[in-house]
Structure formats: C-alpha cells, structure tokens
Amino acid sequence: MERGKIRRRATLLVGAALLGGACVSPAALGRASASTPAAPPRDDPPPTPPSSATLGTTAVFDEAEVMAGIQQTLDRQAAARSTADRDAYLATIDQRNLTWRRIQGEYFSGETARGPRPSATYRVTRIQPKPLDYVKAWIDVIPPGQSLPDAEAVWVFRPTDEGWLHTEILNEQLGPRKQLETEHFTMLYYEWDDDVIDRIAAVAERTFARVSTKTGLVPTTRPTINVNPTYGSHSALRGFGTLALFMSGTDQILIRSLESFGAGATPTGGVPEDRLFVALTHEYGHFVSNIVVSLARIPKWMSEGYAEYVAENLRPELMIGALRAGRNVSLDKASEIIEWGEDPGRNFTLSDIVLAYSESAHATQYFMDRFGQDRFFGLAKEFAETRRWDPSFQNNAGIAWPDFERDWLAWARQRYGL
C-alpha cells in the first residue's frame, strides 16, 4: 500500500543514540511534583483583571498586576493538587471548552492519583500578551522541598470576573489556517502561532536531515505538518501526552505547537525544540517507512522500533533496568503492549508501554547493525504479503526467530556490561 516512491540517497547511513519521540510521548508537564508555598485561601477575592480594552492588542497593561493575578491562580491550583480537591482545581480552569475541561480533568487525576501529597510549585516568570485578551505565561516548575526549578512550561490564561483562568484559545477564535512552505514540508498553522512557526519549521528541516541521512530514504511525496496550538484544534490529536502523530494513510503529521500546554514542560537547561525534534523525527520515520510497507501490515515492534531507531531514542536506562530486574518481555509481547496501550481491559501501565518501545528500539538497532536496512524492509514486505512470520524471518535474516530473540538480548546485555 505505497503512497509514493522513494529514491535512495547516495550517502552513508549514520547512527547514534538520543532521546526519543514515540507516537504517544509521555507528557513531561507536571511530572515533577513539588512543595506548595503558602497559598492564599480559596475564598480570597480574585484579583481584578486588567482592562480588556488594551490587553493582548498593545503593551499598555500593568505587567506586574497580570503576573500577580496569574500567580494567584497557580497557587490556588497547587493548593488544590496538594489536597486532591478536584472542585477547587477545576475552579481555576476555563469551562468554555469541553475538550479542555476533559484534558485538565485527566491531568488532575494523574497528579492526584495517590491522594493528597505535596504539590509542585508553579511560578510565573514572564508573560506575553496575545490577541483577544489571552496571555501566554512562562511557568517554572519547582519540585517538592526545593527552591530551584527543574522544568519550564508555557500556559495560556485569560482574565474574567472570577480572576485569571487557565485556558486555551477557543477553536472558533483561531480563524483559518495559514500555510508556510519549507524546503521539504508544507506547514499548516494558525495566526496564533505566528511567533513560533519559524522555530517549528527549523525543527522540521532538522528532522528531514536526520531521517534522510540515517536511512538513505527521501520520499518524493511532500508531507504536511499540521501545527496545533490547542487540544481541540484537530480531532485526531486530543490525547493527553501526545506530542506528535503520523496519520497513517495520509501525508499528514500532526504536532503540538511549541509554547502550548500540550507541548509539555522542558527540563531546565533544555529547549522545547529538542523535545519536538525527537517526537517529529519518530513520526517522520513512520511517514517514510509507511511508503515502503504499510505500517498496518507489520508487527508493532518493527514499526515503532524503526521510528525510535531513526529518532535515536533507545532509552538505555529503561532497558538496563529491565534486564537487571528480569522484567524484559518478548518482542511479540512488546507488540501486544504497544497495540493495546493503556486499554483498561489489558491492564498495561505507562511503564510497560515505554519499556515496550525501548525494547523495540534496541531490537531494531541490533537488526540494523547485523543484517542491514534492506533485509529489515525485505522481512517487512514478505510478512506483509504472506502473513507467515517464521518463514519470512528465516528467509530474510538467515536465522530462526527464536535465535534472534536470544541474540538481541545477549547483545543488549553486552552493550551495557550486564
């Protein structure tokens, strides 16, 4: 089921290893939990919002007053998380958008799953006025018992009679999409992202350079990158924690915009572009490999392992921990875990899923090192056509499937000195 032709680039394949971007990247946002500074009582009167006649259209507003109002909302949120008070938390959330309310409910549930406990401190450090009275705020995330941040997030707020609410711009306010052509991509985005689109485009071109150099594959089909600043701006990109997504059967890759809640938090000292680069490289790896052979026709460990291999996202610490503890699973099981994800009927945890991605990436790296990419895709094509796994593997790798399972695990143990 090919969607375009691929020409082979006359360059040597280059490898390395780094951080990754799976189809569903665990959100870094709020993962660090932190102690809560003295927060104002919940029944304190809300701060008086600045005049909406000037906010977001000019720089003529009281920056200190805006930051103080947003900080009060952040403190109320921290107090609600520390006491697992869902109603108090949702009182700080803009209720106009049902998708946004759902996402924030999921976020709160994840943060308070173990009951009341010290919460992260969230501290506003700077702000930027946006159209229609919205304000973009940069937030330091400070872990419990510490005074220094370990991550930074970018959230959006708007003034109301009840104070500043944590929000996203409404879909009907986004307007029509705009288009930007880069050398290798078509970027679709909203005016809201005018201030970050050039940075996103630069990440996309870095992605092309990585994938084309590492794989030698350059698609003649021009992919479209669909940039989304809100959870509701594309119906296929609504899951909490999803940073990027290749839409199989199309030429589209959906991504979260930089400087949005959906983009998550960036570790202190890092830049959000690097996190987007890993996720986008993973999804562009899907785009390229899907042209060679349909992702729907091959095992999940191969499709996700290849994308992680291209993104150089082996997650070695997870593999080492699993091998030491004897928690590693077969590649068939890894495919099952990836396929079902956090489906409640399967009882797979987020840790199970991330480990399955790591194992798939390591197994793919080993296959590439030992047999090469041509045999990898030869295996994928033969199995896609015959649906007979063991003979397909024997024909293309020259060894039996059980022997490969044994060999790649031995290679991983040797790689990490275990």
- Phi and psi (nearest 5°) for 286? -60, -45
141 has pLDDT over 50: yes
Q: Which residues of 37-46 are buried (b: 16+ CB within 10 A; e: fewer)?
A: eebeeeeeeb
For residue 129, what are its two tokens? Answer: 């006025």
* Topology at the third CATH level for domain 63-172: Nuclear Transport Factor 2; Chain: A, (3.10.450)
CATH class of 6-26+177-415: mainly alpha
Q: Which residues of 99-119 are buried (b: 16+ CB within 10 A; e: fewer)?
A: ebeebbeebbeebbeeeeeeb
pTM of the model: 0.84
145 has pLDDT over 60: yes
For residue 199, what are its two tokens? Answer: 């940075």
- Indicate if 63-172 has the same CATH topology as 6-26+177-415: no
Give the β-pairing of 224-228 and 186-189: parallel
DSSP bridge pairs for 154: 138
22 has pLDDT over 60: no
Domains of the chain, residue spans: 6-26+177-415, 63-172
- Phi and psi (nearest 5°) for 219? -70, 145
pLDDT at position 25:
34
Q: Taking residues 357-382, what's their average pLDDT?
A: 98
The confidence band for 342, taking pLDDT boundaries of 50, 70 and 90, is confident
C-alpha pair distances (Å), 22 with each of 62, 203, 264, 277, 303: 42, 16, 14, 11, 11
DSSP per residue over 235-252, as a string?
Answer: TT--STT--EEE-TTSSE
| CA 149/CA 36 separation, integer angstroms | 13
pLDDT tens per residue across span 148-191: 999 999 999 999 998 999 999 999 999 999 999 999 999 999 99
* High-pLDDT (> 90) share of the chain, %: 76
pLDDT at position 239:
67
